[in-house]
Structure 1
Amino acid sequence: MQFYKNLKRARVRMGKSQIEVAKAVGISNAALSNYETGYREPDLDTLCALSRYYGLTLDELLDVNGEQHEPIYDLSPVLKNKYIAYKGEVFELKDSQKRALLRELDNLFTKFEKSKVEDKSSKPKTYKHGNPHINRAGLASSAGSLAARRNIK
């Protein structure tokens, strides 16, 4: 994937507008727009600032290895920090707030796991041939099998 697509994807993933990112990084909105459309490329200092802002390495942002994957974030180490950010706003967490957030995340992910198990158990019956309307004789409908039983031509 090309750099400009990675740049835009990183911004969208954070839920930020071009104006918000440009202001935070110290560039103009037009410059960021040019970077995200591939019309221009940033200098090294701007590239580093964008990388830090998005929390990506330069390799990830530039897609040096040519891998197309979404990064996986483990939330538990993040909640050990004194300061965290959510939707661009920085919060200072007390120990009691960290514990409360971890409990809420545990509850949330437990519900996710339960929903996965329920989804697997509620799947409809599958057939070897893939179509539940085809019987062993190969007839595609119950009307066809009924006609065959009545010898209707």
Structure 2
Amino acid sequence: MENILGSNIKNLRRRKGLTQDQLADKIGVNRAMIGSYEEGRATPKLSALSTMAHYFGVTLDELVNTNVTMLAENEPAKTDVTGKNLR
């Protein structure tokens, strides 16, 4: 079974030029947890998923369900209208 979430975390982390340690510091977990997420041995808590999605500029749905390598790196930014993220 394909580990979309883990692949996305790894791909997005690398796009930002971050090490596992650096990402772990940003979301409040240890480096080993990032490795576990990327390898599919652990599932992040919702709070960590939300923090990662916000940091990487993707929706929770994209982070969890979409192969982000298919998303254009220069995709137009989401516009925030009345507190809701829109595409």
User: After TM superposition, where is structure 1 displaced by more than 3 Å over at least 4 residues in a row?
Assistant: none
- CA drift of 1:71 comes to 2.6
Q: Equivalent residue for 1:61? A: 63
Deviation at residue 70 of structure 1 after TM alignment? 2.6
How many residue pairs get matched? 75
Q: Deviations over 1:105-142 (max 9, x none)?
A: xxxxxxxxxxxxxxxxxxxxxxxxxxxxxxxxxxxxxx
Higher RCO (CA 8 Å, separation ≥ 6 residues):
2
Q: TM-score, normalised by structure 1?
A: 0.44
5+ long unaligned stretches in structure 2: 78-87
How far has the Cα of 1:53 moved from its partner? Answer: 1.5
Question: Over the residues paired in the alignment, what is the CA RMSD in angstroms?
Answer: 2.3
Distance 2:75 2:36 in 1: 32
**Which of the pair has more CA radius of gyration?**
1
Cα distance in structure 2, aligned partners of 1:3 and 1:74: 20
Structure 1 unaligned blocks of 5 or more: 78-153
Q: Which residue is 1:141 aligned to?
A: none
| Match in the other structure for 1:45 | 47
- Using the size of structure 2 for normalisation, the TM-score is 0.73
Q: Structure 1 residue 54: deviation in Å?
A: 1.2
CA–CA distance in structure 2, aligned partners of residues 42 and 17 of structure 1: 17
